[in-house]
Structure 1
Amino acid sequence: TGNPDFAQIEADPFAFNISRYETYFDERRPFFTEGNEVFMPSGRQRNTGFYRPLELFYSRRIGKNLPDGKEVPLQFGTKAFGRLGEWEYGGFLALTGEEDYSIDGEAFTEPRAGFASARLKKQILDNSSLGVLFVGKKTAQDFDGVLDVDGAFRTSDWQLSYQLARSIKNSEGDFAGSAGFVQFKDKWITLSRGRYVGKDFDVNQVGFVPWKGTGELTTLTGPRWYFKEGSVREMLLYFGGTLNYERVDHFTDRSAILGFNMQFRKNWGYEITLITGRSKDQGKKFTSYEIDYSSWFNPSPKWSGNVYGGYARTYNFARDYLAFYSWYGSSFNWHALKVLDLGTSLNAFIEGNPRNKIEDITWNARPYFSLTPVNDLNVRVYVDNVYARSKGNIRQVIAGLLFSYNFSPKSWIYFAVNELHNRQEEYDVEGKLVSDRLKLTDRVGVTKLKYLYYF
């Protein structure tokens, strides 16, 4: 593929972040999502999400957004992936162009760069795997990259996954690793995960590992019960602890965990988790605690949804103080007609202050409809709204339309339009507010044709 259309066909959802680390966004560009499984480390837990290996190939770094809102231009890209017997393979090459940008009025330049990735993975011992991964970025002045060895041993009721990586930044580098163990027996479960990231492990140009100089160990275990009759189908009680070391704080946070999960035969369930311990952030030691809950339901083929939330005493890095923080959310989907789906998500983020009062509440809703008048043709429209209580108005609106038609096997036509509206305040020469309204700040339109040619 030469000079392809790498555009993102759906805008990122709003993300609220009070941690000291950057926000993670899923890849949404079709060129990068197709076949990306081969570049993922072995052993990632898709059902429980308990163990997540380090993401050493984060394709959002290619053609990334710059601090002033500009995007690095993608000029060329090609990839290959597939399977040959017990081997899986993948290769990737991309070139990005030079782009000027500014931060607080100071000019910078993102240089031209070449990206490359190679992946090999082999099935061993029937259901286990072993793989190696290389990812690199080369500019005229610098080379950034990472080498990785990962694998997973699997049996009928347990899995042990592991990963060891070495970063490369010109002549420097450091190590990182992760491991996860999951065992589900009929009457007992055991889960354990660990992660170590060296203080000089820097893969920020090619991967997503922002936790430099940290280590984490979490272990959970507990009984489970199955019921052949009655409204309750399964119950699970788990308990354990976690250790989390951050070099920047010169402290190891330690917490105890207690949780309960119940699932019912009428396709709904809930889970409650309690966490408490000692923590340190920004030089302050404190007793931390957190309660999380979630519930899910699917009473009929037409309805599904979930409700979740939590309350915690934690450090708010966005405001630089220790206070309570709470969050609530829900999502619903209604199969209204044979050709029409309606749904929405609704989230609230409640920030406290040191006086134990509410500092602000941010609301976010993302209603949508999805229309499929005939097989293989879909039209989806969504509107993402952000409302701040302290301002008393909507601060941001993201609207999008996506038309997609699968006219032949693995052949598609895409048409997408995304708009971003931000509220902008304008003042007169005396400093008085004269305008505070939503303004269109960005609009992107994409038309893409993808055709699979057999030969």
Structure 2
Amino acid sequence: MNLKFAPLLFLFAMASSFCWSQAPKKVYHTKFTSEKITIDGKLDEVVWQQAETATDFVMVQPGNGTPEDSNRKSIIKITYTHEAIYVGALLLDDHPETIARELTTRDDFATADHFGIFLNGFNDGQQDFRFFVSAAGVQQDCVYTDANGEDFSWNAIWDSEVRIVENGWIAEMRIPYAALRFSPTAKQTWGLNFYREVNKTRFKYTWNLIDNKINTESNQAGILEGIENIKTPTRLFFIPYSSFYLNGNSFTKTSGELKGGMDIKYGINDAFTLDAILIPDFGQTKFDNVVLNLGPFEQTFNENRPFFTEGTELFSKGDLFYSRRIGGAPSLYENLGPDEEVVDRPNNVNLFNALKISGRTSKGLGVGVLNAVTRPMYSEIRNTVTGATREELVEPLANYNILVLDQRFRKNSSVSFINTSVVRNGGNRDANVSALVFDLNTKKNTYKLSGDYKYSIISLADTKNSTGYNTSLNFAETSGKYRYSFGGQYVSTFFDNNDLGVNFTTHYHSLYMNGSYRLLNQTPKLNTFNIFFNNYSEFDNRTGRLQALNHGINVNIVDKKNDYYGFGFNGRPLHVYDFYEPRTYNESRFIRLPRVVSAYFYFSSNYARKFAIDINPSFTQSDEKNRFTYGFQFAPRYRFSNKLSLVLDYTYNHLNNNVGYVGQDDSINAIYMGRRKINTHTLSLNGKYSINHNMTFNLVTRYYWSYALYNNYYALLDNGGLLNVTDTVLLDADRNFNTWNCDLNFSWWFAPGSQMNILYRNKAFLQQSQNIDESVKGNLGRVLSSQNLDHIFSISIRYFIDYNSLKKN
């Protein structure tokens, strides 16, 4: 083919794809009711007999497009009032005694049949609010977008009830308009789909077919019509809370602390919502899985604070926002004088308050604003000679702000502008980052063109501003059995979004090309089969050296017993150069990394069985003598009953002859590296006992032990090689790192949106650099000794108050 015509052919393919038409969508017509409906799982009100019926579900997995069995028919009805929409579902099953009904905590699907409804108040094909209820009565809810999938950190307040009947089970829901977002027009047209999962077969069905030839779900929803002239009530909610903490260990006197505060949610209109937290309390959030970090980059953690996880889909645009920066570690360090030491340094920065406003107009423009103000924080410093103490500022008063404008169009594409800023008091470091992000899809969702341009400005007192940029462009075929994607990225030397985001590597450009094949329907032996080919290369901008390279193949299989198998091979056939491990910005200092080949295997048996197990061995071999890595995961689980289950997870990793940074001597421009073995053990035990779908005991434990032993030290050469150092008096890099966390929690949802949590937590941390003990018994015994354990007992009560109920009373 003559390459000069390739761009024309590409544009022709894109243009022609816009002319393809989609299959007709199912339409459901609902009607208004003034009848009082009790959510009891009975469907005995008159309106349920008169409402239109939605049925004829089709399978999503494993037999995509297969009609549902006649003995498992799904019969759904919808009605609405001025306050909420109501959903009634009769889910037929000729063997109701086999319906899976495991009890668990909210947002955990576990081993249970499920019914769900997907609602898109703007019918823009890009975002669903999804509400599920299990046959055991457990609720799950999430926000879905094609870019981020299902985000179950979002929680709404809605009612549901289920009931097992002689021919299946019934689910009844009441979803208030406060849990949704939609345009203010008199006549509403919403995107709608229903979902059903039969756990014993792992069959998944939807009302309007989600064709797996197309890489989108929300765009394949049906239509809900008939909601007209609704007079929605004021959306104003108060969630006051009170918490009591009792802290103690063997070194300090047991102390108590009482906290209180309030969350406020206000519906500016039916599309926009304001969320605010006053005097925040995050004391009962899940603990972080801390590890021994010997690399050049900080460890990042999942966000567990509800305010920063709920409804933050807009703020994830452009990957500029890492919410743990707000309230993270202080940004400044102490200036110590002679004979001074730090007695107390705060681990985290406290918040004054935070608020966010988010929503979308009827024209598809999404607007998001998030703002948080953090308190000044001080370290306590003591003079070791005189005993005098003083305070030094380690984090000034700071304001964090994010603005997002996201314009959706053609029900599958968007263009977004994002700005993040951090302003610190007193002439300290300020940061501003802006981005333009686009995601363009052809009308039938067969091809995608996406990319971004990001620009950062860092301001320091008496210093010239530092600026940088980061840009990427990607193209992909997103439909059919065979799919591919390719693209590239360029990051300048001084691009920096780390004040409110995460970006560890700069001054590089990269290229990638991926391909895949998948079964679109089940076969006599397999439910699913996918194979992926990945190719990635990355080059340092300053020297042109290759700094990352990977070629890989990965296979995923689900057999007819719903057991999962995965395996893959990855390789780096050339030497690459690491400019970050030497911990310097000097382009002439790097370490040369060897060629490697790696393989892994993963097996996960069907969780629908009482006993299931996950097994994951892996191995990596380099072309350096005795330099290799191996590891494995062993994770059995057992479900004793629908109320009680336990999961044990043990992971072991061994790095042999690994090379890493040790230290440096600036006076002679020397950087020292070490050859080491690293062993890591992680053991966790998670247990759950549910009294009912509102009351659950949860046990989460984690013991992590990792140690690094160095056997040789080297000076780093200018060519990336290593020169043996015989005098190692100043080099002592051995590390032994132990952490223990145990949370025993009782959760009770005693009213809609209202929860009581009782938590007992004990934790311990132990780090050594000399006389490393390599025995499990010795390390576990020391970390669990009474002098290392901290004990925390806390009670927190949050109560949901609807302004409308106050007004009525």
1:164-207, CA deviations, whole angstroms, 9 ceiling, x for partnerless residues?
21112123321113444453444312133544332111111110
- Does residue 327 of structure 1 match 2:631? yes
- Does residue 111 of structure 1 match 2:396? yes
1:129-170, CA deviations, whole angstroms, 9 ceiling, x for partnerless residues?
222222211112132121122232234344443222111212
Report the residue type matching 1:146 in the other structure.
Answer: V
- Does residue 380 of structure 1 match 2:698? yes
Q: Distance in 2 between matches of 1:284 and 1:426?
A: 27
C-alpha contact (below 8 Å) 1:3/1:74 kept by paired residues: yes
Q: How does 1:258-407 map to 2 (within 5 A)?
A: 258-276=553-571, 277-278=573-574, 279-281=576-578, 282-300=590-608, 302=610, 306-313=614-621, 323-353=627-657, 359-388=677-706, 395-407=738-750
Q: 1:215 to 1:390 in 2, by over 3 A?
A: closer
Q: How does 1:55-454 map to 2 (within 5 A)?
A: 55-66=319-330, 70-85=347-362, 86-101=364-379, 109-140=394-425, 141=427, 142-154=429-441, 155-170=444-459, 171-192=465-486, 194-225=488-519, 228-246=522-540, 251-252=545-546, 253-276=548-571, 277-278=573-574, 279-281=576-578, 282-300=590-608, 302=610, 306-313=614-621, 323-353=627-657, 359-388=677-706, 395-423=738-766, 438=785, 439-440=788-789, 443=792, 445=794, 447-454=796-803
Structure 2 unaligned spans of 5+:
1-276, 334-344, 384-390, 460-464, 579-589, 660-674, 710-735, 771-780, 805-809
Structure 1 unaligned spans of 5+:
42-53, 316-320, 428-434
Report the residue type matching 1:326 in the other structure.
Answer: Y
Q: Distance in 2 between matches of 1:351 and 1:197?
A: 31
C-alpha contact (below 8 Å) 2:291/2:704 kept by paired residues: no
Higher Rg: 2
Shift of 1:91: 1.7
C-alpha contact (below 8 Å) 2:527/2:562 kept by paired residues: no
Q: Distance in 1 between matches of 2:635 and 2:801?
A: 36
Q: 2:311 aligns with which of 12, 35, 42?
A: 35
Report the residue type matching 1:245 in the other structure.
Answer: F
- Structure number with the bigger relative contact order (C-alpha 8 A, sep ≥ 6) is 2
C-alpha contact (below 8 Å) 1:421/1:442 kept by paired residues: no
1:49-105, CA deviations, whole angstroms, 9 ceiling, x for partnerless residues?
xxxxx63111100110359562111121122223333233322111111223489x9
Secondary structure of 2:693's aligned partner:
coil
Q: Distance in 1 between matches of 2:477 and 2:393?
A: 50
Q: Distance in 2 between matches of 1:323 and 1:69?
A: 40
Shift of 1:117: 1.3
Q: Identify, as 1 or 2, the structure richer in strand.
A: 1
Q: Distance in 2 between matches of 1:259 and 1:134?
A: 37
C-alpha contact (below 8 Å) 1:133/1:147 kept by paired residues: yes
Q: 1:322 to 1:23 in 2, by over 3 A?
A: farther
Secondary structure of 2:505's aligned partner:
coil
Please say which of residues 6-15 and 65-74 is displaced more in the overlay: 65-74
Report the residue type matching 2:641 in the other structure.
Answer: L
Q: 1:69 to 1:306 in 2, by over 3 A?
A: farther
Instruction: State TM-score, norm by structure 1.
Output: 0.81
Secondary structure of 1:298's aligned partner:
coil
Aligned to 1:432: none
Shift of 1:243: 0.4
Aligned to 1:47: none
Shift of 1:256: 2.6
Q: Distance in 2 between matches of 1:405 and 1:130?
A: 42
Q: 1:405 to 1:119 in 2, by over 3 A?
A: farther
Secondary structure of 1:119's aligned partner:
strand
The size of the alignment, in residue pairs, is 430
Q: Distance in 2 between matches of 1:24 and 1:424?
A: 20
Please say which of residues 416-425 and 167-176 is displaced more in the overlay: 416-425
Q: Distance in 1 between matches of 2:543 and 2:789?
A: 42
Q: Distance in 1 between matches of 2:577 and 2:359?
A: 47
Please say which of residues 407-416 and 338-347 is displaced more in the overlay: 407-416
Q: Distance in 2 between matches of 1:306 and 1:312?
A: 20
Instruction: State TM-score, norm by structure 2.
Output: 0.48
Aligned to 1:318: none
1:280-339, CA deviations, whole angstroms, 9 ceiling, x for partnerless residues?
233325313222333333252655553334323579xxxxx9932333224454433222
C-alpha contact (below 8 Å) 2:676/2:708 kept by paired residues: no
Aligned to 2:297: 21
C-alpha contact (below 8 Å) 2:760/2:791 kept by paired residues: no
CA RMSD, Structure 1 to Structure 2 (Å): 3.7
Shift of 1:367: 0.6
Secondary structure of 2:298's aligned partner:
coil
C-alpha contact (below 8 Å) 1:102/1:108 kept by paired residues: no
